[in-house]
Amino acid sequence: MFLGLSLLVVGVVLCLNGVWQADRIQDREIILINAVAALVFFAIILLIALDARQPADLLDAGMTLLFGTTYLWIAYNRAVSSSGEGLGWFSGFVALTAAPMALRVLAQAEGLFDVWLAACWAAWSGLWFLYFLNLALRRGNPRLTAMATLLCGIFTGWLPGLVVLHGLTG
């Protein structure tokens, strides 16, 4: 039910984070969108959890929590000028947690949109892995990560979120 909103928020925050990583937005300015995204996701998590009927229903809440925590952590790191190493290790954990979602969604796919959503999970997992490499191991490529963040924002969030919110998924 919250897919369109979630995708739109992911798209906006990833696009802006990619622009920020390319040094086009200052650290203190990127705090706001990440904090707002985290608040939106935490509200969605609460609504999903309150409507849960069985333990499997909480999978969406749990996976959404990964996004919300990431954006809250980015906002925090920029507010206190942290190195981001903790976020990097968290991102490695999240990359491993998100990767099976691609396979799960693909296995349950009922149409092209579901196949696309599985590809999104694979892309998000890869993006979190890039953050792990950059922040935790200091072995990544920041320019590649900035571009991947921007492209993921456009193609896994912003445009698809608009498609879902406009009811164009079929």
Q: At residue 1, does pLDDT exceed 80?
A: no
Q: At residue 67, does pLDDT exceed 80?
A: yes
Tokens read off for 58: 């909480």
CA atoms within 13 A on the CB side of 31: 10
State the CB neighbour count (10 A cutoff) for residue 140: 17
Give the C-alpha separation, 159 to 162, whole Å.
5
Which parts of the chain fold into alpha helices (H)?
3-21, 27-51, 58-80, 85-107, 112-131, 142-152, 159-165
Q: Residue 106: what pLDDT?
A: 96
Q: Residue 78: what pLDDT?
A: 97
SS3 128: helix
Q: At residue 69, does pLDDT exceed 80?
A: yes
Once rounded to an integer, what is the mean pLDDT over residues 120-132?
A: 98
SS3 81: coil
Mean pLDDT of the chain: 95
Give the C-alpha separation, 103 to 123, whole Å.
12
Where does the pLDDT of residue 105 fall: very low under 50, low under 70, confident under 90, or very high at 90 and above?
A: very high
Q: At residue 75, does pLDDT exceed 80?
A: yes
Q: Residue 158: what pLDDT?
A: 96
DSSP for residue 136: I
Give the C-alpha separation, 95 to 21, whole Å.
20
pLDDT in tens, 133-166: 999 999 999 999 999 999 999 999 999 999 999 9
Give the C-alpha separation, 111 to 97, whole Å.
24
Q: At residue 170, does pLDDT exceed 80?
A: no
Predicted structure pTM score: 0.94
Once rounded to an integer, what is the mean pLDDT over residues 120-136?
A: 98
Give the C-alpha separation, 35 to 8, whole Å.
15
pLDDT in tens, 33-43: 999 999 999 99
Give the C-alpha separation, 86 to 72, whole Å.
13
pLDDT in tens, 26-66: 999 999 999 999 999 999 999 999 999 988 789 989 999 99
